[in-house]
Structure 1
Amino acid sequence: MMRRSAALWVVAALAAVATVALPAAHAQAPAARSFDVLQLNLCHSGSADCSSDGRAVDSAIALIQQRRPDVVTLNEVCASDITRMTSETGYLWEFTPAGDESTGGPRACRDGRGDYGIAVLAHPDLGAGGAPIERQYAAQDATTEQRVLLCVPFSTVAACTTHLSATDARVAAEQCRELSGVATALNAETVVAGDFNLVSGGSPDVQECVPNGWYRKDDGSVQHVLAMDVFHFRRAETLPVDGSDHPGLLVETDR
C-alpha cells in the first residue's frame, strides 16, 4: 500500500508541474500594432502654377487630424507651413530646406514664408527624434534647385523623405539610389516616402532603387512609400488634397 501511495503521489506531482507549465508553452506573441505613413506634396512654394494660397496646408492639417498617421512626409512646403501644421496637430517635426545654386544658400518660398523644402512629421507617441541626417544629393540637374534628403531616427523606427529631380529622370534615379543607400545604413526599421518623379515601369524604373528586403507602394504616379518588410503591408489609399496637384498617399501597415 505504501508503494502504491508513493506512486500516486509522483503521478499527481507530475500532473501539477505539467499544469503549471502549460500556459508558458501556449504564450502568445505580442499583438502587432498599426504603423501608417502619409505622403503629401503640397505644391506650396508660391512660385508654381499649382500653388493655392494655403488651401493645401489646410487640407493637410485636416487629413492629419482625421487619420492620425504615425509619420507624415511632406514635399514642397515652407518653414512657416510646418510651424502652423505642428502647432495645430501636436506632431513633432524636422525640416530641411532645398538648396539654391544661384545664391549658395537655402531656397526660399515667396511672400516671406521662409525656407522651401521637405519635412518629416511624427506622431507624439514615437517620441523625440535623434539627430537628423540632411544631405544635398551628389547628382543634381541643370536647374538652380538643389535636391535634398532628410532622415529622422526615432526610438524604434526611422523615417526619410525626399523630392527628386523633376527635369531629368536619370538624375532622379541616381538620387533615388543614394537615398536608398542612406536609408539602409540607418540600422533601424525604416520607411521612406516622397515625390520621386519616377514611375513604376518607366525608364528608368523606380523599382530599381528599392532595396532588397523592402517593398514599394505608389499613388499610381510619382509618389512612393518604401518600407522594410518588417512593416507588414495592409492597404494603400489615395486621398484628395485641395489646392495641390498631387493626392495624398496613405500606406497602412502592421509591425
Structure 2
Amino acid sequence: MKRAGLRRSAALWIAAALAALAAVAVPVAQAQTAAAQPFAVLQLNLCNSGFADCYSDGKSVDSAIAAIQQRRPDVVTLNEVCAPDITRMTHETGYRWAFTPVGDKATGSPYACKDGRGDYGVAILTNPDLGAAGEAVARQYAAQDGGNEQRVLLCVPYSKVAACTTHLSASDGQVAAEQCRELSGVATALGAESVIGGDLNLVAGGNPDVQGCVPDGWYRTDDGSVQHVLAMDVFRFEHAETIPIDGTDHPGLLVATTR
C-alpha cells in the first residue's frame, strides 16, 4: 500500500510539473506570436507632372490621400509627383516626407512640373510611428537613357527600417535594368532592414527581367505590370493587392508583411 501511495504521489507530482511547464510555454508561444508586427508598403505612381496623357489635374492626389487615410501603411513610395503634392499629402495625412526632384539634362536644374507647379520627382511618406529619418540618399543614376529626364533614386533610413523609391527609364529596358541594380546596391548597403517600392518599367519574365535586380535575401511582388515592391526576407510576405487610384493609369500596389 505504501508503494502504491508513493507511485500515486509521484504521478501527481509529474502531472503538476507538466502543467506548470505548459503554463509557462503558452505565454512564451503567445509572446513569440505577438512579436511579429504588421508592416505595409503602398506604391503609387500618380501621373501628376502635367505632361503625360494620364494627367488629371490633381485628381490622383485626392485619391492617394484617401487611400493613405483608409489603409494607414507604414511606408508610401510615390512617383510622378510635384513638390506641392507632397506638402499637401503630409498636411492631410500626418505622415513624414522625403522628396527629390529628377534632373533636367537640358538645363542642369530640377525638372519642373507643368504650369509652374514646382519640382517634379519621387517621394517617400512614412507613418510617424517609424520615427525620425536619418540622412537621406538621393542621387541621379550613373546610367541614363537619351531623354531629357534624368532618373533618380531616393532612400531614407530610420532606426531599424529603410525605404527606397524610384521611377526608372521608360524608353530603354537595358538602362532601366542597370538603374535597378544600382538602386538595389544602395538599398542593401544602408545597414538596415530595407524595402523598395517603385515604378521600375520592367516586368517579370521580360527581357530584361526585373528579377535580375532582386538581391540575394530579398523577394519581389508586383501589380502584374511595372510597379514593384522589393523587401528583405526579414519582412515576411503576407499578401499583395492592387487598389484603385482615380486620375492615374496605375493602380496602387499595397503589400502587407510582418516583421
The normalised TM-score by structure 1 is 0.91
- Letter of the structure 1 residue corresponding to residue 249 of structure 2: D
1:74-126 residue CA offsets vs partner (Å, 9 max, x unmatched): 00000000000000000000000000000001000011211000000000100
Shift in Å at residue 72 of structure 1? 0.1
Equivalent residue for 1:226? 230
Alignment of 1:226-245 (within 5 A): 226-245=230-249
In 2, the alpha carbon distance for the partners of 1:21 and 1:215 equals: 38
Equivalent residue for 1:85? 89
1:16-67 residue CA offsets vs partner (Å, 9 max, x unmatched): 9999888666634262110000000000001111100010000000000000
In 2, the alpha carbon distance for the partners of 1:17 and 1:172 equals: 63
Confirm whether residue 198 of structure 1 aligns to residue 202 of structure 2. yes
Select the residue among 18, 30, 35 that pairs with 2:39. Answer: 35
Equivalent residue for 1:67? 71
Equivalent residue for 1:6? none
In 1, the alpha carbon distance for the partners of 2:25 and 2:225 equals: 48
Select the residue among 76, 100, 113 that pairs with 2:104. Answer: 100
In 1, the alpha carbon distance for the partners of 2:234 and 2:67 equals: 26
Shift in Å at residue 154 of structure 1? 1.1
Select the residue among 91, 113, 116 that pairs with 1:112. Answer: 116
- Letter of the structure 2 residue corresponding to residue 191 of structure 1: V
In 2, the alpha carbon distance for the partners of 1:111 and 1:80 equals: 13
Which blocks of at least 5 consecutive residues in structure 2 are unaligned? Answer: 1-15
- Letter of the structure 1 residue corresponding to residue 194 of structure 2: T
How many pairs does the alignment contain?
247
Alignment of 1:152-167 (within 5 A): 152-167=156-171
In 1, the alpha carbon distance for the partners of 2:18 and 2:116 equals: 73
1:194-228 residue CA offsets vs partner (Å, 9 max, x unmatched): 00000000000000000001100000000000000
Shift in Å at residue 69 of structure 1? 0.2
Select the residue among 54, 57, 63 that pairs with 2:58. Answer: 54
3-state DSSP of counterpart to 1:64: helix
3-state DSSP of counterpart to 1:93: strand
- Letter of the structure 1 residue corresponding to residue 245 of structure 2: V
Select the residue among 246, 252, 255 that pairs with 1:248. Answer: 252
- Letter of the structure 1 residue corresponding to residue 61 of structure 2: V
3-state DSSP of counterpart to 2:115: coil
- Letter of the structure 1 residue corresponding to residue 126 of structure 2: A
In 2, the alpha carbon distance for the partners of 1:235 and 1:22 equals: 33
- Letter of the structure 1 residue corresponding to residue 232 of structure 2: M
Note closer, same or farther for the CA distance 1:236–1:19 as it changes in structure 2 (3 Å cut).
closer
Alignment of 1:168-179 (within 5 A): 168-179=172-183
**What is the aligned-residue identity percentage?**
72
Equivalent residue for 2:142? 138
In 2, the alpha carbon distance for the partners of 1:45 and 1:196 equals: 18
Equivalent residue for 1:4? none
Equivalent residue for 2:9? none
Which blocks of at least 5 consecutive residues in structure 1 are unaligned? Answer: 1-15
In 2, the alpha carbon distance for the partners of 1:18 and 1:72 equals: 48
- Letter of the structure 2 residue corresponding to residue 146 of structure 1: Q
3-state DSSP of counterpart to 1:202: coil
1:157-178 residue CA offsets vs partner (Å, 9 max, x unmatched): 0000000000000000000000
